Amino acid sequence: MSLRKLIGVIHPRTAVVLHDLSMAALAWWVAKALRYALIDNASINFHTLEFPLVLLVQGAVLSWTGLYKGVWRFASLPDLWNILRAAVLGALAIAAALMLYNRLEDVPRSVLLLYPVVLAVLLGAPRLAYRFWKDSRLDLFQAKPMQRVLIVGADRAGEALSRDLNRDNGYTVVGFVDDKESLRGASINGRPVIGRIEQIPELSREVAAQMLLIAMPGASTQEMRRVVELCDQSGLPYRTVPKLEDVVSGRAQFNEIKEVAIEDLLGRDTVELDWTAIRVTLTGRRVLVTGGGGSIGSELCRQVARLGAQALCVVDNCEFNLYRISQELRAEYPELIYEAILADCGDPAAMRKLFGEYKPQVVFHAAAYKHVPMLQGQLRAAFRNNVLATRNVADLADRHGVEGFVLISTDKAVNPTSVMGACKRIAEIWCQNLNERSSTHFITVRFGNVLDSAGSVVPLFRQQIRNGGPVTITHPEISRYFMTIPEACQLILQAASIGRGGEIFALDMGEPVKIRDLAEQMIRLAGRKPGTEIPIVYTGLRPGEKLFEELFHPLENYIETTHAKIFLAQYRPVKWDQLNAQLAKAADAVVAYDEDALRQCVSHLLPSFRWTETPQPGNVVALRRSESGEK
């Protein structure tokens, strides 16, 4: 049996106690030996119960001071303070015990002064030596080779990461790179800052690094793109730490090492929010979220629960999605009054019962079908779910005096060229017009694609890359707006807090991203080469698909709001009688499964909408007439 295995047989706490008691006995002997060494021909005398009393009393004091709650691996100033307290209090307690035993016979007073000094050294030195041994990798039994790591970023995050890595036997930090001139030539935790970030490819070779770790949680998207590009040039694998907002929101742990995700490169800079206004809207309120098991709906549920809603009711017609979000919310927020309802928002009886029993004060309507190509040939399903179900929930919100109703819409509702976009635009029209006749504030929020949502292009590309390709893109020039799911939901909540009813808010989606660039970056993040190791295939635009998306109709004349990332589209009224008549016909057509009649209703409500079975080459949105019939 090796020495390491032999040591491993003893329980760590037992080994620490035995060590400390041995040190206490040795300290008592050394203190007496030092005292009597000053006297010629003097002999040291120990009484029968002297050592047992010293060990018993000192052991009790050590346990009482909490010294055994600490771990030698992380010994620090609090542990040294406990050692000093234990040594001084132990000396006093031993003096009292020996006074009762033999009136301190053969125990000079100077021994009681020397003992705590010697004991503090004997207890503290091994602990600090052990920590230094582990942090410095002076492990004689270490057989596994360590990976040489170069840290990008020498700020607080980089320093903390290096300390964590020093405690891990799998890594050794060879240095830092950082652009700050003040750090040039500095040393952090014994490791040098060897150059600037732009020198990553050369420096990583010079120090024989095997991995790059990006410790820049506060970096902007542009900075991250630059750093990742340089890491790509080095040819080494690289990882990063989570962003600050992910740590604060509880979605990640500080200094948790993770792969660089596409969200890190396509996301935007941190959005400043008026959390006070958002909390006023939600705290202590009864909130209903439809489609609460989906990508957007589930994140809305998390944030609503985090902001202190009194009660949360979640509706979804997918049993698994509802089960998943329910398990998460009940575990994370046990004090929240929570109800999970498995129902279709287009079921009048189910929704009437829900509104009657739970009496929501704020409604977020996220339930919708969203897959453009699939819905292009499924008009009845799209209209029933995206229009009639929205009307059902909105009417019940009006009837039950709900304070605020937020419709989650899409940029595809602007100049719609798809069935999905057309149905969402009609849902917007209903909510806008209903707001004029209701005490409920009906608000619409539009935004584009969200990264990694269910059914979106990101998980599709990820799966295709995992399978070795090819990655399929409809058109080389197609582009889309992207934002992260948490950011989209936060801006939805912010829009709900500033809305007064009837508004169409459009979220600032930043710059559009070419899908080709997105695919190439995801391939590179996977450690492969786009076009060679993973081929890219262009399949052609699908029916109803645009080359690019718009957030506003030309006639909406959008204006700024109090929030820099939220814009307001001006209201375009539709005659209420005409709207009711067409939706009544459409509802009858849905019941009769008469898609021809349904098409006529949609065309009547959206005169500019064109029914295209196949996209025109090069430009699906060449025909751009307004909904009022303008050519």
- Pick from 562, 554, 559, 442: which is nearest to 503 by CA? 442
Q: What is the spatial distance between Cα 398 and Cα 362, in angstroms, rounded to a whole number?
A: 11
Provide the CB-side half-sphere exposure for 42 (13 A, CA): 13
How many CB atoms are closer than 10 A to CB 320? 9
Closest to 586 (Cα-Cα) out of 423, 396, 436: 423
What span, in angstroms and rounded, lies between the C-alpha atoms of 507 and 501?
17
Residue 9: Cβ-neighbour burial (10 angstroms; 0-12, 13-18, 19+): exposed
Q: d(Cα 180, Cα 560) in Å, to the nearest integer?
A: 37
Residue in 147, 611, 200, 178 with CA at minimum distance from that of residue 417: 611
Helix, coil or strand: residue 471: strand
Tell me which residue has tokens 């006074």: 99
What is the rounded CA–CA span in Å between residue 418 and residue 542?
10
Is 424 an active-site residue?
Answer: no
Residue 593 structure tokens: 């499964």
Spatial CA neighbour of 492 closest among 247, 269, 296: 296
User: The tokens of 538 are what?
Assistant: 């262009």
Q: How far is CA 608 from the centre of its chain?
A: 41
| Spatial distance between the Cα atoms of 286 and 118, rounded to a whole number of angstroms | 65
Euclidean distance between CA atoms 260 and 224, whole angstroms: 10
Quick one: CA torsion of 560, 561, 565, 571, rounded to 10 degrees? -70
613 burial via Cβ count (<10 Å: 0-12, 13-18, 19+): exposed
User: What is d(CA 408, CA 238) in angstroms, rounded to the nearest whole number?
Assistant: 37
Choose, from 32, 134, 370, 412, the residue flagged as catalytic: 412
| Catalytic residue positions, numbered | 412
